[in-house]
Chain A
Amino acid sequence: MEEKIYACFLGCVIPNRYPGIELSTVKMLRELGVESVDMPGAGCCPAPGVFGSFDLKTWLALAARNICIAEELGCDIMTMCNGCYGSLQEADHLLKGDPLLKDKVNEILAPEMEYKGTINVKHQVEIFTDDIGIERIKEAITVPLDGLRVGVHYGCHFLKPSAVRGHGKAERPGMVDALVEVTGAKSVEYKDKMMCCGFGGGVRTRDLEVALDITREKITNMLDAGVDCTVNPCASCHLQFDRGQVEIGDIFGDVFNLPVLYYSQLLGLAMGYNPRELGMHKQNISTDPVLEKLEGLK
C-alpha cells in the first residue's frame, strides 16, 4: 500500500461529544498503516442539512475554509461523520465543477485563504475499504467477534446523493456490512435498514420528538431482528442512537438499552483492544452487554 497521510477532520460531535470516535479511528488506522495529522483551526463542517438549509452561500464558504486548511497541509481529508463528509465532499464537488462559483467563494475567503481544488474528501469507510482493504484488516483481527449480531446503520449522507458521492446505488450497499463481517460479527438484515436515524436536516434541533420517533422506529426494527448492538460509521447517527435513547426514555418512556458502537470501536475490539482504550465507557448507553455476550461465546 502506498504511504498515505490524511488531514483528520474532526467537526463538532466527535471532539466535543464523542472523543472515543476520534481516539479509536486514529488508533485503528495507524495500526493498519494509515497516518493522519491535525487540521489546526478547522471548525463546523458546517452541517449540510442545517446550515445548508439556512443559507447555502454561508454553508459553502465555511466548508471551503475547512478544505483550504487541508490544502495547505497537502493532504486529502479524512472524515468520521456522514454530515462532515457530506458537507465537505459536496462543497468540493460543487467548487470543482463550477469555476464561477469558485471565484465567488474565493472572494469571500480572500485575502488570507484561497480554495484551489487540489485535494479530495474521503470518508473513513472508503479509507478502510479502498486504501487498507478487507484482506489486510482480516490479517489484523486477533479476537474474532464470532456470534455477535450487529444491526448496521449506514446513515444517509455517506451514500446519498449517489450522483454526487459516487459510491453506487444507495438502496442496498455492502461496504459497511463487509467491514463489520470481517471482524467475525454478523450483519443482521432488518426492516428499513437504510432509513435515516432522524438526526439530520435540523430536525433534531427544531423538532426533537419527530427526530426521536424516527430513531425509535429504527431501534425497534433492529431489536425485532435480534441484534446485540448497532454499529455506525457516522458520529451524528452515533449521537442520535446513543444520546437519543436517553431522550426517548424521557419523552416516550421506552427503555431499549441497545449498545451503540462506532465502526472503529467494533474493529478495535476485534483487534484486541480494551473497550476503555476505545472510549466505549464514555457513552450514555452501556456497551457492557456486548462484552458480556462476547465473553459468553468464548
Chain B
Amino acid sequence: MSASQADPVPETKKSGSVLDERSKFMLGRVLTYGILVLAVVLIVFPMYWMISISLKLPREIYRTPSLWPQVFTLENYRILIADKGFLRPILNSLLVSTVVTVISVLISSFAAYSMVRFRYRFKGVIGRIILFAYLTPTSLLFIPLSILMARLQLGNSLHGLILVYLTFSLPLSTWLLQGYFRGVPRELEEQGMIDGLSRLGALLRIVLPLSAPGIAAVSIFTFTGAWNELLLALVLVTSETERTAPLALNYLITSDVLPWGPLMAGAVISSVPLMVLYFIAQHFMVQGLTAGSVKG
C-alpha cells in the first residue's frame, strides 16, 4: 500500500541507486497485482459457483460435487420456468421496476430542477425532508406501509407495490438529480429563454438533454432498487400471481426441499441483465456517484 502513490516516472528520475529503486518498484508491482488478482478471484468465485450450479445435474450438485460441471444441462432453467413458473415473477418485476423508474425520474426531475434553480421559502426544509426520507430505512416503514396499503385496498397488488417503492425511489432520484442539474450552466437556459422557450421548455429541451448521462445513471439506480427489493414485497404480496422475482426465489428456499439448481438458475436470470448494464454504464454511473449517494 505504501507504494500506492508512487508515480514511476519521477521515481526513476531521482538520484541514488537506480537499480535499488527499480527493484523496489518491481516488487511493488508484483505485490499490487498479487493482491488485486487474489481479490478478483474471491469476488468471481461465488459468481462462478452460482452459474456452475445452475448448469449442473442434481447428482453433480449433491452427490459428487466438483468445481467444474461434468455434464452441462439447461434442465434447471427448464424446471424453473416451466414447472415453477418463473416467467411471471420476472415479468412482474420488470413491470414494477419500469413503472417505478419512469414515475420517479419524471417527477423527481421536476423537484430537483426546482430546488437547484430557484430560491424560495421552505426550500431548505424540503431539501432536508428529502434527505431524511432517503435515509429512513424500509425496516422502519414496512409495518405502517402494510397497514396503509390495506386501508387503501392496495395490499397484494402490483399497484400497491409500485406506490410503496416510491418511498425509496423518489428521495434517491431527487437527491441524485440535484447533483446532475447543478452541473448544467444557467447561461444555457437563459439563452434558450431569450430564444423564446418557456421555463418548462428550458427544462425539457435544455436541462434534461444535457443531463442525459445523469438521468440514465439515476434510472439504472432506481430500477435496480425496485428490482432488488424483498422486504416490502414479502409483507405486501400474498398471492402467487403477484410475486416479484426476489419473492419467488425467497419462496423457493422456504420450502422443505431446497432446489439449488433451479434456485441458482433464477439467480442468474435475475442478476445477469443488471450486471451487464452496470458493466456497460459504469463510467457515468461512477462519475455521478458522489459520496454515499447510492445504497451499497
Tell me, yes or no, whether A binds B. no
